[in-house]
Amino acid sequence: MRRNKSHIKKQRHVLWSKKEKRLLFISGITCLLIISLGYYSSIKRSIKYENAYKAYEGMEVPDSVVCMISNLVKPIAMSSITVQNDVYWGCCDKCLNRLNYNIGNVQFATDPYSGKRLKKSEAIIHINPSDKRTVLYFESEESYDNFLVHINN
């Protein structure tokens, strides 16, 4: 009888001690908290991004909210760089550096309606109707209007 009892006690200890259980519970809660915090901030971030482009739907997008490398409207403070009197906007030093040296022809875009090659610094910028987080560069408002007619037909 005595042997049996000690055997049970030993088994219990091997499974989870009270301390271990508490530790497990705390780390479980912590994990859950971190996951939900990450999830929450990613939702918040995507809402922020969504609102960023929504503000400019249908109107000309100011250069200063566009990262001309990713062609995204970003809800963060952008920086500009002046290259031979042309002002380009980017979200970080890396982007500005690429714009400064025109690495990969990033200073230029093609008007999706006229097919004309443009300097992004001189273009009329509008939200891309088929990918609203990104922008398109047009040579004129007229070209943008024609583009809208073209894609809606």
Using CA atoms, how far residue 115 sits from 35, 72, 86, 103, in Å, is 46, 21, 21, 21
Measured from the CB of residue 97, what is the shortest distance to Zn ion in angstroms?
A: 10
Taking the alpha carbons of 118, 119, 125, 126 in that order, is the dihedral positive or negative? positive
Helices and strands (H, E) in the chain, number of each type: 4, 8
Which helix (H) or strand (E) segment is 33 a member of? helix 18-54
Measured from the CB of residue 95, what is the shortest distance to Zn ion in angstroms?
A: 3
Measured from the CB of residue 94, what is the shortest distance to Zn ion in angstroms?
A: 7
Residue among 125 and 143 whose Cβ is closer to Zn ion: 125
Binding-site ranges for Zn ion (CB under 5 A): 67, 69-70, 90-91, 95
Measured from the CB of residue 98, what is the shortest distance to Zn ion in angstroms?
A: 8
Residue among 70 and 146 whose Cβ is closer to Zn ion: 70
Tell which phi-psi region holds residue 115, choosing left (phi > 0), alpha (psi between -120 and 50) or beta: left
Residue among 88 and 138 whose Cβ is closer to Zn ion: 88
Residue among 91 and 127 whose Cβ is closer to Zn ion: 91
